[in-house]
A and B are shown apart, each in its own frame.
Chain A
Amino acid sequence: DSGVTQTPKHLITATGQRVTLRCSPRSGDLSVYWYQQSLDQGLQFLIQYYNGEERAKGNILERFSAQQFPDLHSELNLSSLELGDSALYFCASSVGLGDTGELFFGEGSRLTVL
């Protein structure tokens, strides 16, 4: 158990819809990261928040947005969903800015868009 909690574990929705994925980081971790993994492909970095502020942005689509709340939990919002958005979405957290590269990952949220 990494200490990172993601909900929901599974989500099935239709094209054009909007969903919200939630992540609670490990206790004490200030950074939250979102990653996307599609069909046995590599991990695509989406975005990082540090103590409520956006820290770094990766290959995140404009239809996607995220935020980190004062209690440090984070939400990833995916809108106008397309079939290609079906993927595993991982949240990770780290102490500080993650300068050692050691991240703690949740179990992921599997999104299926029909």
Chain B
Amino acid sequence: DQQVKQNSPSLSVQEGRISILNCDYTNSMFDYFLWYKKYPAEGPTFLISISSIKDKNEDGRFTVFLNKSAKHLSLHIVPSQPGDSAVYFCAAISHSNYQLIWGAGTKLIIKP
């Protein structure tokens, strides 16, 4: 049972344009949603998070939007830069058990 789904295995975006990565979830008990970024041969690094009581959180070029009614969140990167090329994982956590549930990841490729 995939509680967190990233349906796009990969995404290619022109440098300078907006990158939009999507994530869907099924468990309405999730309290926090997070995005992690992972470069090859490195561990994931935390990027940005959002509480379930909010619908938007912004940090520099990165903005996460949460649509609870649709059980959908997205990560916007504006403008996209070559260094943004990485795998992005969506994750969610419920305070009922503190278990972090991960999506399968989306590989973002920024074209020069």
B34 contacts A by Cβ under 8 Å: yes
B32 contacts A by Cβ under 8 Å: yes
Q: How many residues of A contact B (CB 8 A)?
A: 23
Known: A41-B104, A42-B89, A42-B102. A99 touches B45 (CB 8 A): no
Residues 99-111 of chain A, each 1 if its beta carbon lies under 8 Å from chain B, else 0: 1111111111010
B53 contacts A by Cβ under 8 Å: no
Contact of B98 among A42, A92, A98 (CB under 8 A): A98
Q: How many residues of B contact A (CB 8 A)?
A: 22
A45 contacts B by Cβ under 8 Å: yes
State in angstroms the CA–CA spacing of A43 and B34 once bound together.
14
State in angstroms the CA–CA spacing of A90 and B38 once bound together.
12
A105 touching B98, Cβ below 8 Å: no
A92 touching B97, Cβ below 8 Å: no
State in angstroms the CA–CA spacing of A97 and B98 once bound together.
7
State in angstroms the CA–CA spacing of A58 and B56 once bound together.
31
State in angstroms the CA–CA spacing of A108 and B41 once bound together.
8
Residues on the A chain within 8 Å of B64, using CB: none
Closest to A43 in B: B102
A99 touching B43, Cβ below 8 Å: no
B34 touching A99, Cβ below 8 Å: no
A108 touching B46, Cβ below 8 Å: no
Q: Which residues of B contact A (CB under 8 A)?
A: 32, 34, 41-46, 49, 89, 91-93, 95, 97-100, 102-105
Q: A45-B99, A97-B98 are in contact. List 12 more A-B contacts (CB 8 A).
A: A42-B89, A42-B105, A43-B102, A90-B43, A92-B43, A98-B93, A98-B100, A99-B93, A102-B34, A103-B46, A105-B45, A107-B43
